[in-house]
Amino acid sequence: MTFAVWPAHAFESSGDITVFEGRGFCRTCGSRLFNPGEGEVEIRVGSLDMAPTDLEPTYEIWIKRREHWLSPIGTAEQFAEDRR
């Protein structure tokens, strides 16, 4: 799963969206879209019609669950669980 993190002040959404237990969902199909948090919003990149292609990973979370066949992202900071 790939998330892009935006500052909350730079994020806006439109459409028929609901937030339940800290997660944003499409009311029509139930797809999870984003996680609003304190000062930032995690956006599921796969939910975007036109995902940005110039993003570079700065950190990986939950690496304790990484599949053995996946290599770490070389320059990204590593967190065993969440970074908070």
Report the share of the chain in percent with pLDDT over 70: 100
Terminal-to-terminal C-alpha distance of the chain: 18
Q: What is the pLDDT of residue 82?
A: 87
Q: What is the pLDDT of residue 66?
A: 94
What's the burial of 41, exposed, middle or buried (CB within 10 Å: 0-12/13-18/19+)? buried
Res. 69 pLDDT band, cuts 50 70 90: very high
- How far is CA 7 from its chain centroid? 12
Q: Are 47 and 33 in contact (CB under 8 A)?
A: yes
Mean residue pLDDT across the chain: 89
